[in-house]
Structures are given as C-alpha cells and as structure tokens.
Amino acid sequence: MRLVIAECQVDYVGRLTAHLPRAPRLLLVKSDGSVSVHADDRAYKPLNWMSPPCVLKEFDLAGEGEQSEDLASFPDDAQSAWIVENKAGEQLRIAIFSVELDTAHELGEDPGLIKDGVEAHLQELLAEHIGTLGDGYTLIRREYMTAIGPVDILCRDADGGTVAVEIKRRGEIDGVEQLTRYLELLNRDPHLAPVEGVYAAQVIKPQARTLAVDRGIRCVTLDYDALRGTESKEMRLF
C-alpha cells in the first residue's frame, strides 16, 4: 500500500465529470491497483476514486522539455501528474503541487473480517435450521467463497432457485450494500443465476429494510433464542 499526502487538484473524466480544487489530501494506492482520494473527514469514504482494473501512470512536470498533449490540461505550476485510467477509458487526473509524505508498506494477505460470536453462531444455527427461511429451503454451503469475500450462506428455495444470505446481528445499510455486491457477482455465474438475496438479522434498521426492499432483497428477522431452541428471556404477557 502506498500513502501520499500532497497538495493536489483532482479531475474525474468519463461518463460523468467531477472536480476537486487544489487542497491538501491523502492519496491511497492499493496493491489491487485502485486509487482513492481522501480528505481529513467523511470517515472511510473517499472524495473520488478509481476501482480496479486500472493503470496508474506518473509524469514529472517539473522537468524541462515539451510536454505531451495529454498533459497540456494540467496546471503550469504542478510538479507532477497522475493519470489513472480504467478499461472503459475513464480517467482520474491528479495534479500534484507539493508532497509532504510518500511512503509504501507491504501489508501482506489479509485474513478477512472475523464475525463476532453472535453473528458466527447465527450463521451456524441458520445453516442447521435453513427451513427458517421458508418451506423447502436446502443448504448448499456456508461461507461460499467469491472473488470479493465469502457469502454467509448459499442455499436453494423450494423451486430450486439460488439464494444468497447475509447475516448480521444488527442489520444496517452497509450490510445491504455488501449483499448487493455479492448478488451482482453471483448473478454473473450461469450455474447459479438467477440469485435472490435474503438479509437476515436480529434487528434490521428501517433505513436498511427500505433499501433492501427497493433492491428486491427479502428481509428476515432472526430470533436467536428460538434458533437455539431456548425460551426467550424477554417478559411476555402470554
């Protein structure tokens, strides 16, 4: 991973255009080739980015000699230029005026996200009692691996259709986005498509439920105690 803190100007040129005026920012280059531009706010969200597959080319604008036509649009006082281009020909054009930090680190292979005990146990219990999702459901496998991570549960419904299940303790919008990415990828596999989605959690926030329903994803509220075969500790009238 390469971290660059620099005063820069950023332009995205493609189906849409976007402009970030000159300011200090963090430029993040990952080993997968992705490039993202960050400000000192907005939590984890970048201001702009280019997803892989893409190619980063760097140019020294401070050197003498005539610049190519492709670099003519960069500001005259820029020291260097980055042009990040994807396979569709869209470009992230970054003019760098000064650099405060430029460092690279080898992080190695990441082990991935390890679910907390409740989520892991929910996955195990739901796999054992897959009929909780509906009559006729059958399990294909837990932790079905994809190129972007494991799907919690892959199963089939009563009609033989493939269903991908994402399990959370608290269902929020991020989980819906995660399941959406899995579904987009799984539906490219002709042996699985069409693949439906189920978002299962002990509690699902209203905003997450609204987004899921809008995307054709079914929401299921899981009763942890019922899956374990124990009585709930909550007080009941009857």
**Interval 169-182: pLDDT, tens:** 899 999 999 999 99
**Chain segment 8-62, per-residue pLDDT in tens:** 999 999 888 999 999 999 999 998 889 999 999 877 789 999 988 899 999 999 7
pTM assigned to the model: 0.53
**Is domain 117-228 in CATH 3.40.1350.10, yes or no?**
yes
What is the CATH architecture assignment of 2-104?
A: Distorted Sandwich (2.70)
* Rounded-to-integer distance, Cα 151 and Cα 173, Å: 17
Residue 154 per-residue DSSP state? E
55: which residues sit within 8 A by CB, 6+ positions away? 33, 84, 85
As a whole number, the mean pLDDT across the chain is 89
* Rounded-to-integer distance, Cα 27 and Cα 35, Å: 7
Q: How far is CA 231 from CA 122, 223, 227, in A?
A: 16, 10, 10
Please report how many Cα atoms fall inside a 13 Å half-sphere around the Cα of residue 203, on the Cβ side: 3
Other Cβ atoms within 10 Å of 43 Cβ, number: 5
What percent of the chain has pLDDT above 70? 91
Q: Confidence band (pLDDT; 50, 70, 90) for 187?
A: very high
List helix spans (H) across the chain: 117-128, 173-186, 206-214, 224-228
Are residues 96 and 80 in contact, defined by beta-carbon separation less than 8 angstroms?
A: yes
* Rounded-to-integer distance, Cα 188 and Cα 195, Å: 9
**What does the domain layout of the chain look like in residue ranges?**
2-104, 117-228
**Chain segment 112-152, per-residue pLDDT in tens:** 655 555 788 889 999 999 999 999 999 999 999 998 889 99
State residue 53's pLDDT score. Answer: 87
